[in-house]
Amino acid sequence: MSINKKEFDITGMHCAACVKRVENVVSKVEGVASVKVNLLTRKGSVDYVEGAQVGSERIIEAITNIGFGAVEADETKQEIEKVDLKPHIIRLVVAACMAVPMMINMTLHRFGIVALPVWAEFVLATIAQFGPGLMFYKSAWSAVKNGALTMDVLVVMGTTVAYGYSIYNWLFVPELGSSGIYFETSAWLITFILLGKLLEEVAKGRTSEALQKLIALQPATAHVFRDGEFIDIPTSQVVAGDMLQVRAGEKIPVDGILTDGYSTVDEAMLTGESLPVEKNIGANVIGATINLSGTFTMEAKRIGSDTMLSQIIKVVEEAQTSKASIQRVADIVAAYFVPAVIAISAVTGLIWYFLVGSDLNTALINATAVLVIACPCALGLATPTSIMVGSGLGAEHGILIKSAEYLEKAGKLNAIVMDKTGTLTQGVLNVRAFTNYSGDESENMALMMALESGTSHPIAKAMVYYGEDKGYKGKEANIESFADVPGKGLEAVYNGTPVQLGHSRWMGELGCDLSVVEAAITQFEEQGASVSLLAVDGVVRALWAVEDELRSETVDVIKRLQSQGIDVWMLTGDNRRTANYMAQQAGIFHVIAEVLPQDKASKVKELQNQGLTVGMVGDGINDAPALVTADIGFAIGSGTDIAVEAADIVLVRNDLHTLVQAVRLSKKTMTNIKQNLFWALIFNCIGIPLAALGELNPMIAGTAMAFSSVMVVSNSLRLKRAKL
């Protein structure tokens, strides 16, 4: 069963209960498999079964029917729409202008001074209640008529009780005097809730700064060759195949190939490498990197959403929209939160009036305090704000996390399996030694080059380069029936004679006499080199020893991972002697050697069956199955496209230190989420009982509620300063 995806921009959501309503109604649309809505990014991701008649109109209709706005997201649009703060500011200013005079009047009352008559307070409170406060009534009505209870319902109930009860006392119980008037309470509640919302919007905007920085890297214009000359056009209008001119100091507009000229390019924004990279004709150039010297011409290959930068932005956006499993705590609580608060408020009023024996005034005020202290918003923001900041921080460090699920899991790993060649090592192989045992050396070298030219394996490339450097030509050997034997080597027919080139284990299986080369094989393998043997008609003729060096950071990275309680395993197809030598150099104690490419995934599965949470780090095509099998697959950014596609986390900078940073980022993000959930829950667990006991004035309760969400978002923003 194939799953397709649609994404929507959703407006009008205020809290976790809103998110739950949208998810519930969309999930009931026939053909929808799953739906994830993010309060922070205001985006909804809908998975539906391929072939199902799930039109965007049906989903939009379902969302709008419950009082929210929705449009299908433009996938080609790569910019973050900034929330217009002007309406928020206007509402806040109007509400404050109504509330402040009443607060001054209330203060003067203590000194026996009456600055405002009750009718003036009524006018000011009415403007606040149905001017700036009208938005709460609209949202609450939309929710209630669709059978839902949201934070807006709590706000409307709390402020309406204070406002309505004040009118009742003013008109029908005048003997209570000022003690029965709470117009300032309703106006002040609206003012502080609006202030909290404004601060929340400002803070939420700051959580997307990392993504905004990525988007800002895209150059606005490009010099395109049209009608015999280079003209400036918007980068968005460049098409594949266009010839572009890039001058010194300019950003490269799109991904492509250098066709004329020479330059050095600053690719730090992508790789983190501070040294410029030389670019000659035929070299790949990446959009948004900076041309440091000289003017060159390039052919556009990948444009728009296909460029590497656009793909990075897309991955970050998807990670920020996704949900971590820990968010289920907030979702479950949010589903029952508002109904429970309303029930507690009602019980509070009844207990104070009937059991405690207080007057109606006290009972209503305490019940109102319960309504306004409760804050489901903080719960709804606790997880997505941390995920957004965490994934953005990862992108800044060259760590592309494809989903919140992987950001959550990475910190739980207790075993990491690492491919050897190109991951632990530099992947740049050199022939260390060559020995010709029998036959003509030129013929043997030509046979080797003819065979190795048929594959793209790093060892093959190193050996062919060695032959070319020595002046030999592989084309001189006319081979037939070429075959690649996975995990063993290469074979063909030469002048009617079978020829094999591969490792010593395979030669042993073929029945070749290895006595002449055995000592050399042992010596080279114990020194970390991989040995390839050439056999013609069952006789070993020549030996090549190929070696690779560890990355400069490998030893330090292994130590850091082990210090965090993570066991590191080296996985390789090399013979055990070579593998053990390289593992010893790297400081790795667990080695899985002589593994065929197709068996790598099963080795990862064996570790998982031992109860380990396993991460796999690789860069090659043959690593892809293992990357998928592992709990978390890490792909080295310089690896193959297949490996990058199969991985859950991509280490763009081709630096193993980012692996350590990814694990640390996961732990810090999860700690941040737990802190947010704790503060959101403890705020309500302490505040609601205090309000029910009559220990909180509604104005104080409303002020606290308004700032609880700001506190959660501010705590998430602390993650931006985390050291990885």
Which pLDDT score is estimated for 539? 92
pLDDT of 444 reads 92
Q: Is 482 exposed, middle or buried (0-12, 13-18, 19+ CB in 10 A)?
A: middle
Q: Do strands 649-651 and 632-636 pair parallel, antiparallel, or not at all (unpaired)?
A: parallel
Q: How many CB atoms lie within 10 A of CB 414?
A: 15
- Which of 144-148, 282-286, 598-602 is predicted least confidently? 144-148
Q: Is 682 exposed, middle or buried (0-12, 13-18, 19+ CB in 10 A)?
A: exposed
What pLDDT, on a 0 to 100 scale, did the predictor assign at position 642? Answer: 66
Q: Assign 640 a pLDDT band (cuts: 50, 70, 90).
A: low
**Mean pLDDT, rounded, for 333-352:** 88
C-alpha distance from residue 103 to each of 79, 109, 355, 691 (Å):
43, 10, 33, 21
Report whether pLDDT(188) > 90.
no
Q: Which residue has the higher pLDDT, 562 or 321?
A: 562
Tens of pLDDT, residues 476-500: 678 888 888 877 889 999 888 999 9
Rounded Cα distance, 27 and 4, in Å? 15
Q: Which of residues 207 and 174 earns the better pLDDT score?
A: 174
Q: In the numeric block, which tokens belong to residue 14?
A: 């205020």
Report pLDDT digits (tens) over 448-474.
Answer: 998 888 777 778 888 988 998 888 876
User: In this predicted model, what pLDDT tens digit does every residue of 223-271 receive, in sequence order?
Assistant: 999 888 899 999 989 999 999 999 988 999 999 999 999 888 887 666 5
CA 571, CA 416: separation in Å to the nearest integer? Answer: 10
Q: How far apart are CA 283 and CA 289, in angstroms?
A: 14
The arrangement of strands across the sheet holding 284-285 comes to 229-234, 221-226, 243-246, 296-302, 255-260, 284-285
Amino acid at 634: F
| Number of neighbouring beta carbons within 10 Å of residue 463 | 25
d(CA 392, CA 407): 11
Please determine, for residue 433, whether its predicted confidence score (pLDDT) is greater than 80.
yes
Alpha carbon distance 486, 96 (integer Å):
75
Task: Please report which confidence band the pLDDT of residue 72 belongs to, taking 50, 70 and 90 as the band edges.
Answer: confident
- CA 647/CA 635 separation, integer angstroms: 5
Residue 596: CB partners within 8 Å, gap ≥ 6?
Answer: 486, 487, 573
pLDDT digits (tens, 9 = 90+) for 163-175: 988 898 898 888 7
Query: In 3-state terms, what secondary structure has residue 130?
Result: helix
Tell me the residue type at 296: F
- What is the arithmetic mean of pLDDT over 491-512? 90
- Looking at mean pLDDT, say which of 56-60, 404-408, 541-545 comes out highest: 541-545
pLDDT at residue 384 greater than cutoff 70 = yes
Least confident stretch, 316-325, 519-528, 545-554, 692-701: 316-325
CA dihedral 538, 542, 548, 549 (to 10 degrees): 130
Q: Known catalytic residues?
A: 419
The mean per-residue pLDDT over the stretch 262-285 comes to 77
Nearest to 500 by CA among 440, 429, 452, 442: 452
Q: Is the predicted pLDDT of residue 475 greater than 80, yes or no?
A: no
Residue type, 452: E
CA–CA distance, 667 with 673 (Å, rounded to integer): 10
Is 646 within 8 Å of 624 (Cβ atoms)?
yes
Helices (H), 28-133: 56-64, 86-109, 118-130
* pLDDT tens digit sequence for 106-142: 888 777 787 889 999 999 999 999 999 999 898 888 8
pLDDT bucket at 321, cuts 50 / 70 / 90? low
Among 18-32, 71-85, 290-304, the range with the most confident prediction by mean pLDDT is 290-304
Lowest-confidence pick of 41-55, 517-531, 556-570? 41-55
Give the model's pLDDT for residue 422: 79
pLDDT at position 273: 55
Distance (Å, whole) CA 508 – CA 497: 19
Report which listed range, 79-83, 202-206, 684-688, is most confident: 684-688
pLDDT at 638 over 70: no
Confidence check: pLDDT of 527 > 90: no
pLDDT of 582 higher than 60: yes
CA dihedral 404, 407, 411, 414 (to 10 degrees): 90
* pLDDT in the model for residue 4: 77
pLDDT surpassing 80 at residue 214 = no
What's residue 85's pLDDT? Answer: 82
Check whether 641 has a pLDDT greater than 70.
Answer: no
Residue 137: CB atoms within 10 A of its CB come to: 16
The pLDDT value recorded for residue 459 is 81
What value does the mean pLDDT take over residues 421-433?
83
Kindly report the average pLDDT of the chain as a whole number. Answer: 85
Instruction: Give DSSP secondary structure letters for 160-220.
Output: HHHHHHHHHHHHH-GGGGGGG--HHHHHHHHHHHHHHHHHHHHHHHHHTHHHHHHHHTS-S
Give the length of the chain.
724
Output the pLDDT for position 16: 67
pLDDT > 70: percent of the chain: 90
- Between these two residues, 201 and 104, which has the higher pLDDT value? 104
Q: Above 90 in pLDDT, residue 591?
A: yes
Catalogue the long-range contacts made by 452-455 (C-beta closer than 8 Å, 24 or more residues apart): 452/490, 452/501, 454/482, 454/484, 454/490, 455/484, 455/490
